[in-house]
Amino acid sequence: MCIATTEDSSWKLNFDGASNVVGNGIGAVLVSSNGDHYPFTCKLDFDCTNNMAEYEACIMGLQAVVERGIKKLEVYGDSALVVYQLRGEWETRDLKLINYRKVVLGLLEKFDDINFNYLPRDENHMADALATLASMIKANKEKEMRPIQMSVYEAPAHCCNIEKKEKNDSPWYQDILQYVRDRKYPEQANENDKRTLRRLACDYVLDGDILYKRRKD
């Protein structure tokens, strides 16, 4: 992964650690001012507490930010202990965490402006998902693991799975178009198909003869 250029405006970093009976994992997501997301994840192949995993996740994310020359950063984590210790509002008495905090403080010298913010777990879902995934995967150290690519499907698989022998002059969205325009179902549609079609049709709008998919704008 490479970010070719950095910007003067502030970037955001979300981090999270996961420690369970299966294993330990960490995740971080770097978000640019334009809203681009750059995920990081790593499996921890050593015994650690959940607080140690949280610090590991924070350090991994900060190191990635430093490597890219970003100077302004807003950091978000769902570990109140880690966030408030790094803000200097809580003391660090656990010997296992003292050295972690020193590493973070050393990284902070690379920034012109950085702030740590507490974020509820249900609002830190992407970093949490990455950490949980890493903790549960059994990694093979001898073989390379390709990056995970996430896609977004906007229609059921059967809409695009049309065999050549079944193909006609109608587009794949013909059923949606017919329902939006005429409120009619395909002849062979059962009740489940009708419910699915009604749900899909809510995302489309007809302007003249052109069917548009609704967007946020």
Q: What CATH number does residue 15 fall under?
A: 3.30.420.10
Same domain, 22 and 88: yes
Q: Is residue 105 part of a domain?
A: yes
Strands (E), 81-180: 113-118
Task: Please classify residue 16 by burial: count the beta carbons closer than 10 Å to its beta carbon, then call 0-12 exposed, 13-18 middle and 19+ buried.
Answer: buried
Residues 122 and 64 in one domain: yes
Number of domains in the chain: 2
Q: Which residue, among 32, 41, 66, has the nearest Cα to 133 in the 3D structure?
A: 41
Query: In whole angstroms, how far apart are CA 63 and each of 53, 68, 95, 125, 153?
Result: 15, 9, 23, 21, 33
User: Do 40 and 30 form a contact (C-beta atoms < 8 A)?
Assistant: yes
pTM assigned to the model: 0.66
- Backbone phi, psi, residue 159, to 5°: -70, -30
- Report yes or no on 68 lying in a domain: yes
The sign of the torsion formed by the CA atoms of 57, 61, 62, 64 equals positive
Same domain, 28 and 121: yes
pLDDT in tens, the chain (217 residues): 444 444 456 899 999 999 888 889 999 999 998 888 899 999 998 889 999 999 999 999 999 999 999 999 999 999 999 999 999 999 888 888 999 999 999 999 999 999 999 999 889 999 999 999 888 877 666 666 676 767 777 766 665 554 444 555 677 888 898 899 998 898 888 888 888 888 888 888 888 888 888 877 6
In the numeric block, the tokens 């010997």 are attached to 95
Verify that 124 and 170 share a domain, yes or no.
no
106, 136, 166: which is the final residue of a domain? 136
Whole-number pLDDT of residue 87: 93
Do 198 and 103 belong to one domain? no
Residue 151 forms part of a structural domain? no
Is 3 part of any domain? Answer: no
Supply the pLDDT for residue 60: 95
Residues 121 and 190 in one domain: no
Please indicate, yes or no, if residue 2 is contained in any of the structural domains.
Answer: no
Are 106 and 193 members of one domain?
no
Does 94 share its domain with 164? no
Which pLDDT belongs to residue 141? 66
Domain boundary among 105, 136, 167: 136
Indicate if 178 and 101 belong to the same structural domain: no
81 part of a folded domain: yes
H/E stretch holding 84:
helix 80-86
* Domain containing residue 166: 157-213
